[in-house]
């Protein structure tokens, strides 16, 4: 009877031991997977943070460009207004009656200068006269603001860089 009981107890212990062994291995495996998942999630969080930072930078950059563009527009509108202001002060008809030759020279020079502004905006090479211009008016009377632009880009001769 005692032997029988011992045998049953041994069997129960073996089963319990087997279950314990299985449980240990299963838990270890599960822990390894969870650890791996944790590491991956950490990386995912870092990636998300980097993406968010990148988006924030892009947003700031977009705001910056928008501000710069609005400033450029204001400046361009002011430049465009200059001719209208100038023409309001001049009676072209009266000027043509009083001094046809003089006004003819002036309008031909003005037309040439205005055409040159378009050439420069399209990327034309500067002439020696333009490169050595001492100020914005000497550069081009119709678009004097381009002088500062070219100077900032270092395309004018150093002698004029004052």
Partner 1 sequence: MILGLAACSTKPQIIEISSKPIEKPTLTLPPVDEINMRKLEWIVINEDNVDAVIARLAASGKPFAIYGLSGDGYGDLGLNFSDIRALVQQQQAIIAAYEGYYEQAEQAMDNAVVQD
Query: For binding to partner 1 (CB under 8 A), which residues are involved?
Result: 19, 23, 26, 29-30, 33-34, 36-37, 40-41, 43-44, 46-47, 50-51, 53-54, 57-58, 61-62, 64-66, 68-69, 72-73, 76-77, 79-80, 83-84, 87, 91-97, 100-101, 103-104, 107-108, 110-112, 114-119, 121-124, 143
In the bound complex, what is the minimum distance in angstroms from residue 8's beta carbon to partner 1?
19
Neighbours of 146 (CB within 10 A): 19
Q: How far is the CB of 4 from partner 1 (least distance, A)?
A: 25
- Report the alpha-carbon distance of residue 134 to residue 144 in Å, rounded: 12
Nearer to partner 1 by Cβ, of 111 and 134: the residue is 111
Smallest gap from Cβ 28 to partner 1, in A, equals 11
Q: How far apart, in whole angstroms, are the C-alpha atoms of residue 100 and residue 78?
A: 30
Q: Closer CB to partner 1, residue 6 or residue 79?
A: 79
Transcribe 83-106 into DSSP letters: HHHHHHH--HHHHHHH-HHHHHHH
For partner 1, give the closer residue by CB, 10 or 105: 105
Closest CB to partner 1 among residues 6, 51: 51
Residue tagged 């270092």 (tokens): 154
CB under 8 Å, gap of 24 or more: what pairs does 18-21 form?
none
17, 11 Cβ separation under 8 angstroms? no
Q: What span, in angstroms and rounded, lies between the C-alpha atoms of 13 and 59?
A: 67
Q: Least CB distance from residue 96 to partner 1, whole Å?
A: 5
């Amino acid at each position: 009877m005692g032997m029988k009981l011992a045998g049953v107890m041994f069997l129960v212990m073996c089963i319990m031991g087997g279950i314990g062994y299985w449980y240990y291995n299963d838990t270890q495996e599960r822990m390894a997977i969870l650890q791996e998942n944790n590491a991956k999630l950490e990386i995912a969080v870092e990636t998300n943070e980097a993406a968010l930072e990148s988006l924030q930078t892009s947003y700031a950059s977009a705001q910056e460009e928008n501000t710069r563009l609005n400033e450029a527009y204001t400046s361009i509108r002011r430049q465009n207004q200059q001719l209208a202001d100038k023409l309001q002060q001049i009676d072209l008809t009266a000027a043509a009656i009083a001094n046809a030759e003089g006004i003819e020279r002036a309008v031909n020079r003005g037309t040439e200068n205005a055409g040159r502004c378009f050439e420069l905006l399209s990327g034309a090479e500067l002439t020696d006269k333009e490169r050595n211009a001492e100020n914005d008016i000497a550069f081009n009377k119709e678009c004097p603001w381009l002088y500062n632009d070219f100077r900032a880009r270092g395309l004018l001769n150093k002698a004029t860089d004052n």
